[in-house]
Amino acid sequence: MIQGAGSNVGKSMLVAGLCRHFARQGLRVRPFKPQNMSNNAAVTADGGEIGRAQALQALACGVEPRVDMNPVLLKPETEIGAQVVVQGQRLATVRARDYAKLKPRLLEACLASFRRLSEDCDLVIVEGAGSPAEINLRAGDIANMGFAGAADLPVILAGDIDRGGVIAQLVGTQAVLAPGDAARIEGFLVNKFRGDATLFADGMREITVRTGWTGLGIVPWFEEAWRLPAEDVLDIRSRPRDGAFRIAVPQLGRIANFDDLDPLSADPALSVEIVPPGRALPVADLILIPGSKSTIADLAAFRANGWDIDLTAHHRRGGHVLGICGGYQMLGRSLSDPDGIEGPPATVLGLGLLDVDTALAPKKHLARVAARDVASGADLVGYEIHMGQTAGPDTARGWLEVEGERVGASSPDGRVRGCYLHGLFAGDAFRAAFLARLGAPMRATDYGAGVEATLDRLADHLARSLDMDRIERIARVIR
């Protein structure tokens, strides 16, 4: 189990790289994260949802993602509440203070998933969440040492030197852990080092002397990490390129499934700008409104930022607009929540650029989808993950085809479009055809091959930096 001395130390990336490394050694490897908190989800072939990071890690292993790889997924909806997804399906929405009451039941689900996953592989690499140093959360813990103890796992602790204070991170973690938990840690590593790693040799020795743990290596900064789907909204970055086709993306407070942006950011013909709250939407060729976990609240914030005015001006100038999932819902005339799914029951005005109305509903729609771009005939594969139905005159101009039926909506002039399909831009032929119609100077690129190649380079990067033989011994792998 890879745990972190803090949040965002790079655990997801480390697990992905280790998965790819050991899979290339001929081992049957599987990723596992007992509890994840993210609004960036993936839909599995067995009809459930898991954290996007575990889907990437499954790809690194060369296997299909399964709901057992992430049995508990928390999807924040407010500052104090989250939707709880258990083994792929929505269980409930709970306040943070009430979540602890569910943990005994959730630990059982985590252990059952872990056992099933372990039955047909040689190695499971488990990712922790946050940090075990948060000892105020130790009682009933299912994310770090609580799960490690229940499943009897050895632990490797990762620290982040890029933030500074990595010695205190690692030594301080041991200082606050209960002796039994500290004894589970069989080694440590230092991640995200910039510069000459030999300069930190004394630091590694100090950590070993003060903790008794074995140093497994120093991992230099991996410059290509941005090419892989990000786990956390904090990791998404603008990719400005001079002279390229400009795409502006408002950064919603509860932005969801923002990996829709990854193929766009990776394409050298495109310039993607993530616009934070407080800044006006810039002049762009396309404004893309992404998914949201709390559509009504994000729509209110959209207006509070003045982005509705910017969007209207953009449309009047002849600009193009695309809404995906929650962004699609926002673009309509109205958005209603009669059952109070996102808060008190309400009906609010949408942005009015599409002649459609949306009603939220308790049942979540989860599906992998094969589709066809009506205009170009390009095939694509994506997924739907939403609660609600959208209808109205503009759906008669559905611009995607699924199982012989038109889906999505388009304005009469074709400059405003919406759909529920996530992952559509990962299809190279569709991405090129769609953006070329908007005036982008597109050329053929293979996004999937780029992700695979980046995973290979990440595995090589870790193999050069870490004592892989010792890590394999820690994991008690039997060949």
Residues known to be catalytic: 325, 422
- Phi and psi based region of residue 203 (left: phi greater than 0; alpha: psi -120 to 50; beta: remaining): alpha
d(CA 453, CA 224): 10
Length of the chain: 479
Amino acid at 350: G
DSSP 214: P
Q: Residues 176, 213: contact at Cβ < 8 Å? A: no
Q: Residues 28, 123: contact at Cβ < 8 Å? A: yes
What 448-451 contacts at long range (C-beta under 8 Å, 24+ apart), as own/partner pairs, is 450/227, 450/266, 451/59, 451/227, 451/228, 451/229
* Nearest residue to 49 via CA among 90, 94, 109: 90
Query: How far is the CA of 36 from the CAs of 52, 119, 130, 222, in angstroms?
Result: 10, 22, 9, 23
Q: Count Cβ neighbours within 10 Å for each residue of 438-448 and write b for 16 or more, e otherwise.
A: bebebeeeebe
Computed from CA positions of residues 89, 68, 7, 251, in that sequence, does the dihedral angle turn out positive or negative?
A: negative
d(CA 206, CA 212): 10
